[in-house]
Structure 1
Amino acid sequence: MIQLKETVIYPDSDGKPMSDNTQQFRWIVVIKENLEIIFNDDPNVFIAGDLLWYPEEGNNKLRQAPDVMVAFGRQKGDRGSYKQWEEEGITPQVVFEILSPGNTLKEMAKKLKFYDHYGVEEYYIFNPDRPDFNGWLRSPDGRLDVIEQPENWTSPRLGIRFELQEGEFTIYRPDGERFLTPTELAKKAETERQRAETERQRAETAEQQMETERQRAETAEQRVRELEARLRELGQSLNGD
């Protein structure tokens, strides 16, 4: 008897909310969207927020949904979930978790074990309520080790810098600009648009002024030619007399 292979369904949702509060949601969006901007021109950097990651084919119970994950070497595009065997076996190299009051130590310990086992290179946890920031980096021996001074740390993979000073947590892009909220990004884009429009208007005004000066110069040259012609006529008349 031929035994049919059972079809395994990999749900796109685990039934859990993306975030427990507005602060957690805001940080997830800020990190995810700013990373999208940084790697916008690289088609082979996939970034996702709250996307289920299945590391092993055939096991739909084994999964995690990092608040933000980054997979280098994978094409951008929409996905219902990240099935690693369909992604050339590539593990997301960087993951972020933003804590909320609902997170437990047991839950976070399981996540650390999962990310360690499946090859994540950089793992970052931020607690916006305290605030507190911690990170792990894969060491040469192949394990995730605690980053001793994460409060002033630059991600080897992402090139972004984390800074925690006097209760203020800030993330800086490789160009030194800090991560902005979507509202701040929109305002910055509008400011740049207005600046570009002002520069365009200035250029048009300068061009119009140059055209006016050119016309004045042409008019002055025409008058000079007319005067010269008139003088020649007068000279010829005097000589004729």
Structure 2
Amino acid sequence: MLATNQIVYPDSDGQPMADNTKQFQWITVIKTNLDWLFRDDERVFVAGDLLWYPVEGNPKYRVAPDVMVVFGRPKGDRGSYKQWLEDDLAPQVVFEILSPGNTEGEMERKLQIYARCGVEEYYIYDPDRSILKGYQHSDDFFLDSPGETILERIESINDWTSPRLGISFRLIGDDLQITHPDGRVFETFDNVATERDLLLTDKQQLEADKQQLEADKQQLESEKSKRDAKLRELGIDPDTL
């Protein structure tokens, strides 16, 4: 049993990961592509819809970014991200994918939490309206509290490259295109499935070609054997030809 004074930090807030398929697809596309981008760096932790507790002793002060990236923390499973157990490192980059259920008040609250906790880059995408917003960490000497930070709106988000991630954002008509540092577009399940099908088709064609070459080789050997046998019947040694 828990001690009466032990604070509980739930691993779930009871809210769904996504409100619709479009929101879920974007969350998974961003999360899986970032997993792939940092697959070889054991000190980059990427998570989707994971509860983040910034302050020890205050379980009500929490937020669950759709995707978050933490540089300096090891990969691995977690029920939640308790910042004081993670070298007090806040996620440097967070993403939110909007759904019709998100309210302005909710998003303003998240913006204030992310700014207060030291998030360096914050990206919000509304797939229904194809609107992308970005915010970047900034020290503001006008603030009353020294050392306090804010997140400033990125004015030119189109063709913007994330300083931390190296990925780029481009709005093309009603579509958002995100590219890896090497220029490859973020893969979707459909893209991967199509490429897999093409690879399987190529593999099947190569196997068919190989079988045909083997059949042609056997046919040539059979015809050579018949020719050699005929030459011997005529008293001619085929090896001398």
TM-score, length basis structure 1:
0.79
Supply the AA of the counterpart residue of 2:88.
Answer: G
Residue 182 of structure 2 is matched in structure 1 by 175
Query: Quick one: percent identity of the two aligned structures?
Result: 53
Say which SS state the counterpart of residue 5 (structure 2) adopts: coil
Residue 234 of structure 2 is matched in structure 1 by none
When Rg is computed on C-alpha atoms for both structures, the one with the higher figure is 1
Say which SS state the counterpart of residue 143 (structure 1) adopts: strand
Task: Describe how 1:103-118 pairs up with structure 2 within 5 A.
Answer: 103-118=102-117
1:100-128 deviations in Å (ceiling 9; x for gaps):
11111111110000000000000000001
User: How big is the alpha-carbon RMSD for the aligned residues of Structure 1 and Structure 2?
Assistant: 3.2
Distance (whole Å) between structure 2 residues aligned to residue 201 and residue 75 of structure 1: 46
Inter-CA distance 22–157: structure 2 relative to 1 (3 Å threshold): same
Do the aligned residues in 2 keep the contact of 1:71 with 1:90 (CA within 8 Å)? Answer: yes
| TM-aligned CA deviation for residue 197 of structure 1 | 6.8
Instruction: State the aligned residue count.
Output: 228
Residue 98 of structure 1 is matched in structure 2 by 97
Residue 27 of structure 2 is matched in structure 1 by 28
Query: Structure 1 residue 152 and structure 2 residue 152: aligned?
Result: no
1:171-191 deviations in Å (ceiling 9; x for gaps):
111121111212322332443
1:154-200 deviations in Å (ceiling 9; x for gaps):
11111111111322211111121111212322332443455467668
Distance (whole Å) between structure 2 residues aligned to residue 63 and residue 11 of structure 1: 10
| TM-aligned CA deviation for residue 79 of structure 1 | 0.7
Inter-CA distance 6–161: structure 2 relative to 1 (3 Å threshold): same
TM-score, length basis structure 2:
0.79
Supply the AA of the counterpart residue of 1:125.
Answer: I
Distance (whole Å) between structure 2 residues aligned to residue 113 and residue 201 of structure 1: 61
Residue 75 of structure 1 is matched in structure 2 by 74
Distance (whole Å) between structure 1 residues aligned to residue 106 and residue 119 of structure 2: 17
Inter-CA distance 11–196: structure 2 relative to 1 (3 Å threshold): same
Inter-CA distance 101–194: structure 2 relative to 1 (3 Å threshold): same
Instruction: Pick from 168, 173, 186 the counterpart of residue 166 of structure 1.
Output: 173
Distance (whole Å) between structure 2 residues aligned to residue 45 and residue 76 of structure 1: 6
Inter-CA distance 74–204: structure 2 relative to 1 (3 Å threshold): farther
Inter-CA distance 160–8: structure 2 relative to 1 (3 Å threshold): same
Query: More displaced, 126-135 or 136-145?
Result: 136-145
| Structure 2: unaligned runs, 5 residues or longer | 141-148, 218-239
Distance (whole Å) between structure 2 residues aligned to residue 204 and residue 89 of structure 1: 61
Distance (whole Å) between structure 2 residues aligned to residue 161 and residue 65 of structure 1: 24
Distance (whole Å) between structure 2 residues aligned to residue 74 and residue 200 of structure 1: 45
Do the aligned residues in 2 keep the contact of 1:151 with 1:165 (CA within 8 Å)? Answer: no
Say which SS state the counterpart of residue 133 (structure 1) adopts: strand
Greater helix percent: which structure?
A: 1
Supply the AA of the counterpart residue of 1:151.
Answer: N
Say which SS state the counterpart of residue 159 (structure 1) adopts: coil
| TM-aligned CA deviation for residue 201 of structure 1 | 8.0
Query: Structure 1 residue 37 and structure 2 residue 72: aligned?
Result: no
Distance (whole Å) between structure 2 residues aligned to residue 207 and residue 156 of structure 1: 55
